[in-house]
């Protein structure tokens, strides 16, 4: 007699996001799993895991009713776009779309309108789900996307549809109400595409990157596993009792993985709509938030907030910082202002889903002083488990670990993108010699920690030397009178380029441009961190430093309006 085996349910059991979605429903069905605060009205919405799951099932049925077709390996399902903030509805879409076989395309609504239109038409989105607050934006681009997008779905806390020129418009809550709360989830291939994310287009048109269920599944498991390797003496392991607030936009590279690993962990997930300082403080106090991931800009906004001390933020113990280098000065200032939590750095990019490198305290460092450990925590860090990272020279060889030599970060692993969507030429520019080339420059120190030096496009080339702008920015942030600082290269007839420092002072500070140079001379030159010729030749004090859609300093925008900043800049007359 011949016996049948079932490899599809054993050795070949698919690694799919459906597994993540089902776990909290099985173990904590009646516990509050999702909390959403409308940042405009202040109204709270709370859902148990079973309530959230049933809504997600209704949504999956609604996608079928809308005619959204699933895909298979190497043949993406139809793209379903979102123009939405961090709400429970967006989280429902994060599972209903990919787990039903389609591809989720979270649109970065902070991009330029031309770039948003490009991503929609390039992705060939068939349906767009959008928040009520973004109705004017959708209307403004409607005529440019209506030949691509067949249906639109309006999402709001208030019932009814708006008066609008948008045709084929559906109401989200009504769609769900009309569908069954039961859905038979297919056992998709783990190689089915789950999401499509676009780069921010800082060097041209945004490029699309698709990720499979397998890639997102493995990244999430490795990030969860990494919590077992933490040696930081300040780390408090709360396990399932952590309360994360997802501040990173869900439209920005999967909110750094949060909707996947936090749902799988079954912890209470707090969604703020979008970030406001007041909303942040209220949610931390009300929901006893323990964990957040932010860009450095958020920390600067907290420092500026005059009512910060009115809130009880004592539950907050862990802050992960990405999207830009974490200056030691900024870290120190915000930890002094909000005692009890520790901020540490990380690194990733759209093409890596995104997390690849995180700050790490090695076990023999646990008895080091806080000051020494803080210097470790602001280093970019080491590769997360499951991924390979190297820093190589122009010949493709690993650079020496001397904290001096600068090379390019290259990466490979199960959640690094395979290719740019419909763009083989751009793919060939980054994938060669068996590595994905990031275009980011870094050093490696004697402890084997990677330290971001700069983007290749941002490095300042002065004479025959390269000046890392991030190094100067991090040093400037140490000054107790500086809130934010960025450095760009500007044309110079003699040296090719010279450094222009653009700074925003802490509220109430009366410091001048010379004070920055004097600080950099003492903290940088005299302590051997920089040479005298690296000191900025120009300094501009401004009210605001332009940011990208993800909170990084927008150096492209600064250079585009360079005359404006040069007019404000003071010549430091460095010899």
Contacts (Cβ under 8 Å, ≥6 apart) of 454: 440, 441, 468, 469, 470, 471
Percent of the chain with pLDDT over 70: 98
Angle made by CA atoms 287, 288, 289, in degrees to the nearest 5: 90
Which helix (H) or strand (E) is 299 found in, with range? helix 296-304
DSSP type of residue 181: S
User: Over the stretch 37-56, which tens digit does the pLDDT of each residue have?
Assistant: 999 999 999 999 999 999 99
**440 and 462 co-located in one domain:** no
Q: What is the pLDDT of residues 105-146, one digit of tens each?
A: 999 998 889 999 999 999 999 999 999 999 999 999 999 999
- Is 503 found in the same domain as 413? no
What is the CATH number for 101?
3.40.50.12780
Q: Is there a domain that residue 164 lies in?
A: yes
Contact (CB, 8 A) for 49 and 288: no
User: What pLDDT, on a 0 to 100 scale, did the predictor assign at position 390?
Assistant: 98
**Domain boundary pick from 444, 466, 483:** 444
The tally of domains found in the chain comes to 2
Beta strands of 376-509 (E only): which ranges?
A: 382-383, 388-392, 407-412, 431-432, 435-444, 450-455, 460-462, 465-467, 482-492, 496-505
pLDDT in tens, 102-116: 999 999 998 889 999
Q: Are residues 465 and 415 in the same domain?
A: no
Say if CB 287 and CB 46 are below 8 A apart: no
Residues 470, 540 within the same domain: yes
Distance from C-alpha of 387 to C-alpha of 223, rounded to nearest angstrom: 11
**Is residue 105 one of the residues assigned to a domain?**
yes
pLDDT at residue 533, rounded to an integer = 80
In angstroms, the CA 13 to CA 187 distance is: 9
Among 395, 416, 444, residue at a domain's last position: 444
The pLDDT, as a whole number, for residue 147 is: 97
465 pLDDT more than 70:
no
Query: Is the confidence at residue 149, as pLDDT, over 90?
Result: yes
Nearest one of 244, 254, 215 to 105, comparing CA atoms:
254
Residue 574 has pLDDT above 60, yes or no: no
- For 490-526, write each residue's pLDDT tens digit: 888 777 788 999 999 999 999 999 999 999 999 988 9
- pLDDT exceeds 50 at position 575: no
Q: In terms of domains, do 382 and 480 share one?
A: no
- Tens digits of residue pLDDT in 62-110: 999 999 999 999 899 999 999 999 999 999 999 999 999 999 999 999 8
Q: Is the dihedral of CA 545, 551, 555, 560 positive or negative?
A: negative
Least Cα distance to 362 among 452, 470, 265, 445 occurs for: 445
Is the same domain home to 413 and 494? no
Tell me, letter by letter, the H, E, C secondary structure of 525-574: HCCCCCCHHHCCCEEEECCCCCECCCCCECHHHHHHCHHHHHHHCEECCC
Burial, 255: exposed, middle or buried (Cβ in 10 Å; 0-12, 13-18, 19+)?
A: buried
Type and span of the H or E element at 224: helix 213-226
In the DSSP assignment, the letter for residue 116 is H
| Contact between residue 442 and residue 406 where contact means Cβ atoms under 8 Å apart | yes
Considering 409, 444, 479, which residue would you say is the last residue of a domain?
A: 444
Question: Residues with Cβ < 8 Å from 525, sequence gap 6 or more?
Answer: 531, 532, 535
Tokens of 347: 């690194």
> How far apart are alpha carbons 205 and 191 in whole angstroms?
27
CB contact at 8 A, 391 and 398:
yes
- Within this chain, do residues 469 and 416 fall inside the same structural domain, yes or no? no
What are the C-alpha distances in Å from 451 to residues 314, 456, 530? 31, 14, 15
Residue 302 shares a structural domain with residue 327: yes
State residue 170's pLDDT score: 98
Q: pLDDT band for 531, please (50, 70, 90 cuts).
A: confident
Torsional sign, CA 473, 475, 476, 477: positive
Please, which contacts does 485-492 make with residues 24 or more away whose CB atoms are closer than 8 Å? Answer: 485/327, 485/516, 485/545, 486/545, 486/553, 486/555, 486/558, 487/460, 487/536, 488/458, 488/460, 488/555, 488/558, 488/559, 489/458, 489/459, 489/460, 489/461, 489/462, 490/538, 490/562, 490/566, 492/462, 492/537
In a domain, 102, yes or no: yes
Residues 253-269: tens digit of each pLDDT: 999 999 999 999 999 99
The burial class, CB within 10 Å (0-12 / 13-18 / 19+), for 409 is: buried
- 16 in a structural domain: no
pLDDT computed for residue 202 by the predictor = 62
Whether the CB-CB separation of 6 and 122 falls below 8 Å is answered with: no
Is 465 in the same domain as 424? no
pTM for this model (two decimals): 0.88
326 in the same domain as 203: yes
Q: In the β-sheet with 355-358, what is the strand arrangement from edge to edge? A: 44-48, 32-37, 269-271, 244-245, 291-294, 318-321, 342-348, 355-358, 382-383
Name the band, by pLDDT with cuts 50, 70 and 90, for residue 325: confident
Mean per-residue pLDDT of the chain: 94
Inter-residue contact 353 to 216 (CB < 8 Å) = yes
pLDDT tops 90 at residue 573 = no
C-alpha dist (Å) from residue 117 to 47, 121, 138, 142, 506: 34, 6, 10, 9, 38
Q: Note whether residue 272 is domain-resident.
A: yes
Where b means 16+ CB within 10 Å and e means fewer, 345-383 reads bbbbbbbbbbbbbbbbbeeeeeeeeeeebbebbbbbbbb
For 328-384, write each residue's pLDDT tens digit.
999 999 999 998 889 999 999 999 999 999 999 999 999 999 999 999 999 999 999
Asked whether residue 13 is domain-assigned, the answer is no
Q: Could you tell me if 299 and 388 lie in one domain?
A: yes
Q: Is residue 10 part of a domain?
A: no
Structure tokens at 341: 């939590």
What pLDDT, on the 0 to 100 scale, is given for residue 323? 82
- Judged by average pLDDT, the poorest of 186-200, 262-276, 315-329, 383-397 is 315-329
Whether the link from the prior residue into 354 is cis, omega within 30° of 0, is yes
Q: Rounded mean pLDDT of 153-172?
A: 97
In terms of residues, how long is the chain?
A: 575
The residue with tokens 């050093």 is 443
**Taking the CA of residue 364 as centre, how many other CA atoms within 13 Å lie in the half-sphere pointing to its CB?**
1
For residue 63, give both structure tokens. Answer: 């996608």
Check whether 548 has a pLDDT greater than 90: no
17 found inside a domain: no
Give the DSSP per-residue string, 380-407.
-BEEPTT-EEEEE-TTSPBPPSSS---E
Q: What CATH code is carried by the domain that includes residue 525?
A: 3.30.300.30
pLDDT, tens digit (0-9, with 9 covering 90-100), for 171-211: 999 999 999 999 999 999 999 999 999 998 766 789 999 99
Per-residue confidence (pLDDT) for residue 527, from 0 to 100? 87
Same-domain check for residues 168 and 300: yes
pLDDT of residue 464 exceeding 60, the answer is no
Residue 413 CB partners (closer than 8 Å, separation 6+): 352, 356, 386, 387, 388
Q: 529 is in which domain, residue-wise?
A: 458-571
Burial (0-12, 13-18, 19+ Cβ within 10 Å), 399 = middle
Query: DSSP secondary-structure letter at 93?
Result: H
Task: Give the pLDDT mean for 272-296.
Answer: 96
Of 26 and 462, the structure prediction assigns the larger pLDDT to 26
């Amino acid at each position: 007699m011949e016996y049948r085996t079932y490899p599809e349910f054993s050795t070949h059991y698919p690694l799919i996001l459906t597994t993540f979605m089902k776990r909290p429903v099985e173990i904590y069905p009646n516990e509050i799993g999702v909390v959403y605060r409308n940042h405009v009205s202040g109204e709270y919405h709370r859902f148990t895991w079973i309530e959230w799951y049933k809504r997600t099932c209704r949504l999956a049925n609604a996608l079928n009713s809308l005619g959204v077709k699933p895909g298979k390996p190497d043949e993406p399902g139809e793209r379903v776009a979102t123009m939405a903030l961090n709400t429970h509805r967006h989280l429902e879409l994060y599972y209903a779309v990919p787990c039903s076989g389609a591809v989720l395309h979270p649109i970065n609504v902070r991009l330029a309108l031309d770039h948003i239109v490009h991503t929609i038409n390039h992705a060939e989105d068939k349906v767009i789900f959008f928040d009520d607050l973004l109705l004017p934006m959708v209307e403004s681009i409607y005529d440019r996307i209506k030949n691509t997008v067949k249906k639109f779905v309006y999402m709001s806390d208030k019932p009814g549809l708006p008066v609008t020129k948008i045709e084929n418009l559906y109401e989200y809550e009504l769609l769900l109400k009309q569908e069954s709360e039961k859905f038979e989830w297919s056992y998709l291939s783990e190689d089915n595409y789950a999401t499509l994310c676009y780069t921010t287009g800082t060097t041209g048109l945004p490029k699309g990157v698709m990720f499979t269920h397998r890639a997102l599944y493995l990244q999430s498991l490795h990030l969860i596993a990494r919590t077992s390797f933490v040696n930081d003496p300040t780390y408090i392991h709360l396990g399932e009792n952590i309360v994360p607030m997802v501040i990173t936009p869900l439209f920005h590279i999967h909110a750094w993985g949060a909707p996947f690993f936090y749902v799988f962990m079954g912890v209470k997930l707090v969604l703020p709509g979008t970030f406001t300082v007041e909303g942040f403080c209220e949610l931390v106090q009300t929901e006893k938030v323990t964990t957040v991931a932010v860009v450095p800009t958020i920390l600067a906004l907290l420092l500026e907030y005059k009512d910060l001390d009115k809130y009880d933020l004592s539950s907050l113990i862990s802050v992960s910082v990405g999207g830009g280098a974490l200056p030691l000065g900024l870290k120190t200032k915000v930890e002094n202002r909000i005692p009890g939590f520790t901020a540490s750095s990380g690194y990733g990019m759209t093409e890596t889903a995104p997390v690849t490198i995180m700050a790490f305290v090695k076990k023999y460092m646990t008895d080091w002083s806080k000051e020494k450990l803080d210097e470790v925590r602001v280093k970019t860090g080491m590769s997360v488990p499951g991924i390979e990272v190297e820093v190589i020279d122009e010949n493709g060889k690993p650079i020496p670990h001397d904290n001096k030599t600068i090379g390019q970060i290259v990466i490979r692993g199960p959640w690094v993108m395979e290719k740019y969507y419909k763009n083989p030429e751009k793919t060939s520019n980054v994938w060669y010699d068996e590595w994905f080339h990031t275009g980011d420059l870094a050093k490696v120190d004697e402890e084997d920690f990677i330290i971001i030096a700069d983007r290749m496009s941002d490095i300042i080339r002065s004479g025959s030397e390269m000046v890392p702008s991030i190094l100067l920015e991090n040093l400037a942030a140490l000054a107790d009178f500086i809130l934010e600082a960025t450095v760009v290269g500007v044309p110079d007839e003699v040296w090719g380029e010279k450094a222009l420092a653009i700074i925003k002072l802490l509220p109430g500070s009366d410091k001048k441009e010379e004070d920055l140079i004097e600080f950099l001379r003492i903290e940088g030159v005299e302590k051997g961190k920089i040479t005298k010729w690296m000191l900025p030749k120009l300094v501009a004090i401004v009210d605001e430093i332009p940011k990208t859609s993800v909170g990084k300093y927008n150096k492209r925008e600064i250079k585009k309006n360079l005359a404006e900043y040069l007019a404000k800049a003071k010549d430091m007359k460095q010899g």
